[in-house]
Amino acid sequence: MSSQHWNGATIPTAGDPLLEAWPAFADSVGTIAKAESVASARAMLDRAQTTGHAPTTSRPAYFDIGGILYRSDGAKTGGAWVLSVMNENQTLTAGAVSGLQSRTSVGGGGWVKVSELQIPVKPYARSFIAFGNCWARVRSGEADLELYPDNTAKSTSFKSRFHDSGDANGFVVGYGTIRAGEQRTVGLYVYAATALSIDLSSDSWTQLTVQLSPSTVV
């Protein structure tokens, strides 16, 4: 009966038919196949499926296409094999929060949440950079546009100042790290530096984008 190596490869044991054991070993060893194009990689997967060795989520196939690594777990879209780039950056985008008031008044030192993104939990560490933009018209008072993950105190960094009068398109950038298995929420806020009356927009002028990249585990 075959056994499993620590790296997941299926290896034969004494008494197993040697020739029959080789395909199972090749399926499980996780080698990287060289392919000249996406089309040729998909053709290789077609042949693998025909011979009963299609990739699965537990036994994915890997390809080197022009120096870029791709992974197939057997998923298809429109009948074509899905090839996912290894270590691909993830980009998440959200618009204005539901119920954002077009005209808002808030006391000095208060915040108005204008957008928010919940970052999905992953089993690996990541770094992120976030971009927030928001249209506003300050009617009275002073206002900042601020961006924070939920583990960072507000009004400490990642902020920009709106014009004191007239239309303004605020823009702010923030960054941080997320540990493996950690849940994070990134929020975009208007901060009332003084008692504030402000017009806001819930259309595409108000948006929060977060880009996430895998980071080294130390």
3-class state of residue 41 by DSSP: helix
* pTM of the entire predicted model: 0.73
Chain centroid, CA 11 distance in Å: 36
C-alpha–C-alpha distance, residues 122 and 118, integer Å: 12
Side chain identity, residue 110: G
C-alpha–C-alpha distance, residues 206 and 218, integer Å: 37
- Cα pseudo-dihedral 24, 30, 35, 39, rounded to 10: 70
Question: Same domain for 51 and 126?
Answer: no
Q: Do the strands 10-11 and 32-35 form a parallel or antiparallel pair, or are they unpaired?
A: unpaired
Which of 54, 85, 116 represents a domain boundary (last residue)? 85
Question: Same domain for 115 and 33?
Answer: no
Question: Same domain for 74 and 139?
Answer: no
Range of the domain at 42: 3-85
Question: Same domain for 102 and 180?
Answer: yes
Question: Same domain for 129 and 43?
Answer: no
pLDDT in tens, 81-129: 999 998 889 999 999 999 888 899 999 999 999 999 999 999 999 999 9
Kindly tell me if the per-residue pLDDT of 23 is higher than 90.
no
Contact 74, 54 (CB under 8 A): yes
Question: Same domain for 99 and 171?
Answer: yes
Question: Same domain for 59 and 107?
Answer: no
Contact 100, 199 (CB under 8 A): no
C-alpha–C-alpha distance, residues 57 and 59, integer Å: 6
Q: How confident is the model at residue 57 (pLDDT cuts 50, 70, 90)?
A: very high
Question: Same domain for 114 and 191?
Answer: yes
C-alpha–C-alpha distance, residues 111 and 5, integer Å: 55
pLDDT of residue 72: 94
Which of 85, 110, 127 represents a domain boundary (last residue)? 85
How many domains, in total, are found in the chain? 2
Question: Same domain for 160 and 177?
Answer: yes
Q: Which CATH number fits the domain that encloses residue 122?
A: 2.60.120.1340
β-sheet with 111-119: strand ranges across? 111-119, 184-192, 143-149, 159-161
